[in-house]
Structures are given as C-alpha cells and as structure tokens.
C-alpha cells in the first residue's frame, strides 16, 4: 500500500500568493521602472498582505473555498463524493487537534497569524477547523487515508482517496494555504 510522506518544510518563505496578471498589469510593471524611479516594493507588500490575509482564514473557510473551486470543474455525482470526502477530512483534522496543536508549537509563528476576531472568541469547545488555518492539514494525510477513512467510509477506494487528498493538498499549496507538499512513496 502506498504511503504519504510530507516533504521537509523549508520555512524560509511561504509560497507567494498566486498572481493572475492582467494585460494592464503586465504593461504597467515595466513603466514603473522606465525612468528608474518606480518601485515594486508596494507590490511586494501587497503580496505579503494577501498571503497573511489568506493565512488568517480558518480551515472551514478554506475547505468551503476548495469545494466552490471543485464545483465548477466536476459533475454533480463526483462533487457529492468530494463533499463527503472533505467533510470526513475535516472531522479527522478536528479529532487530531491535540496532536496538531502540539506540533504547532515547534513551527514558525508567521505560519499562524492571529485573527483578532477569532482570538477574542471563547475557544472552549470550538473545532480545530473553526479556529485554525490549513497549514497542518497535509500533516494528517497519511492517518486520514490509512486509518480514519477505512473506518468511516470503507466503500471508498484507496486510490481514489489518495487522488482526492493529493488534489486538495496541492490546491492548498498553490493557493498559499500551506507550505507543505505531499508526495507518494511507493
């Protein structure tokens, strides 16, 4: 059976927020430097702000964004399967909260910016996914596929579950919600 391995995290810089340049942005960028006085420092700051804003979203918000993205690309029957898979993953992440919170202590604080509104709330009894970002979601991939999913949805094919978790974790990475990449070890 295949297993996942989380690649070592290089916490030097989180991945940049994806940029979708428009024709105007592509044309405007060289003009800013044409006379040597323009600066892209403001753009770098905007990218950093965007990344911080993304990292302040909780898992629940991020999973909803993922499902909205998937809904535009798959048929209705497959979407139902993805929704059930995501709900089960969410439950697994919530059940892994103690382990994830302990691991979080050894990770750089900039991966977990504080959302003031959530910090002000009473966190007692709150789900991990309602209070934390998705930085550590790939860390539960192996346990989710090998143990949790077998108990909760034994009908789901292992290879399909692997494909779904790889897709979700890749989406998290390319959208700047995690610094972790997962890879399949045969």
Q: Clarify whether residues 135 and 50 are in a common domain.
A: no
Model pLDDT, residue 113: 57
Write down the H helix ranges in the chain: 23-33, 41-55, 59-71, 76-95, 97-104, 116-120, 128-131, 141-143, 149-152, 158-174
Considering the domain architecture, whether residues 75 and 167 belong to the same structural domain is answered as yes
Place of tokens 């950093």: 48
For tokens 């927020």, what's the residue?
Answer: 17
**Domain shared by 103 and 160, yes or no:** yes
What are the phi and psi torsion angles at 183 (to 5°)? -140, 150
pLDDT tens digits, residue range 52-71?
Answer: 677 778 999 999 999 999 99
pLDDT of residue 8: 39
**Which residues pair with residue 4 across a beta bridge?**
184
Q: Are residues 78 and 33 in the same domain?
A: no
Quote the radius of gyration of the chain (alpha carbons, Å).
19
Question: Both 62 and 44 in a single domain?
Answer: no
Q: Do 136 and 164 belong to one domain?
A: yes
d(CA 39, CA 16): 19
What is the average per-residue pLDDT within 42-49? 64
Task: Kindly state whether residue 12 falls inside one of the protein's structural domains.
Answer: no
Total domains in the fold of the chain? 2
**Confidence class of residue 126 from pLDDT cuts 50, 70 and 90?**
confident
Q: Give me the domain span that covers residue 45.
A: 21-55
Residue 7 lies in a domain: no
Is 18:175 a contact under the CB 8 Å cutoff?
A: yes
- Give me the chain's average pLDDT, please: 74
Q: Please check whether residues 51 and 77 belong to one and the same domain.
A: no
pTM for the whole structure: 0.66
pLDDT band at 112 (very low <50, low <70, confident <90, very high): low
* Token pair recorded at residue 64: 């909803």
Q: Are residues 126 and 92 in the same domain?
A: yes
13: in domain: no
pLDDT above 60 for 94: yes
Residue 131 pLDDT > 70, yes or no? Answer: yes
Kindly report, residue by residue over 25-37, the tens digit of the pLDDT. Answer: 333 233 333 334 4
Q: Which of 158, 117, 119, 164 is nearest to 138 (CA)?
A: 164
Give the residue with greater pLDDT, 25 vs 148: 148
Task: For residues 26 and 72, state if they share a domain.
Answer: no
Across the range 113-136, mean pLDDT stands at 68
**In-domain check, residue 10:** no
Alpha-carbon distance values, 137 to 23, 26, 74, 75, 167 (Å): 35, 35, 23, 25, 13
Stretch 130-149: mean pLDDT, rounded?
Answer: 90
Same domain, 31 and 66: no
Asked if the structure places residue 106 within a domain, the reply is yes
Domain contains 125: yes
* Same domain, residue pair 75 and 50: no
**Residue 180 — very low, low, confident or very high, per pLDDT cuts 50/70/90?**
confident
Is 90 part of any domain? yes
The predicted pLDDT at position 84 comes to: 96
Residue 4 lies in a domain: no
Reported as half-sphere exposure (CB side, CA atoms, 13 A), residue 92 has a value of 26
Residue with tokens 């192996």: 142
Residues 110 and 38 in one domain: no
């Amino acid at each position: 059976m295949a297993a996942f391995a989380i690649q070592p995290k290089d916490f030097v810089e989180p991945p940049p927020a994806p940029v979708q340049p428009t024709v105007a942005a592509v044309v405007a960028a060289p003009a800013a430097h044409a006379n040597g006085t323009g600066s892209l420092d403001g753009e770098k700051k905007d990218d950093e702000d965007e990344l911080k804003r993304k990292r302040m979203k909780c898992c629940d918000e991020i999973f909803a964004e993922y499902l909205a993205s998937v809904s535009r690309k798959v048929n209705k029957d497959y979407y139902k399967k993805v929704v059930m898979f995501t709900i089960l993953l969410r439950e697994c992440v919530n059940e892994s909260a103690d382990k994830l919170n302990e691991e979080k202590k050894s990770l750089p604080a900039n991966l977990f910016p504080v959302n003031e509104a959530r910090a002000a709330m009473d966190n007692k009894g709150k789900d991990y996914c309602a209070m934390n970002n998705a930085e550590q979601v790939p860390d539960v991939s192996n346990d989710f596929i090998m143990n949790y999913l077998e108990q909760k949805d034994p009908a789901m094919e292992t290879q399909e579950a692997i494909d779904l978790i790889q897709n979700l974790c890749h989406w998290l990475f390319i959208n700047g919600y995690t610094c972790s990449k997962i890879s399949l070890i045969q």
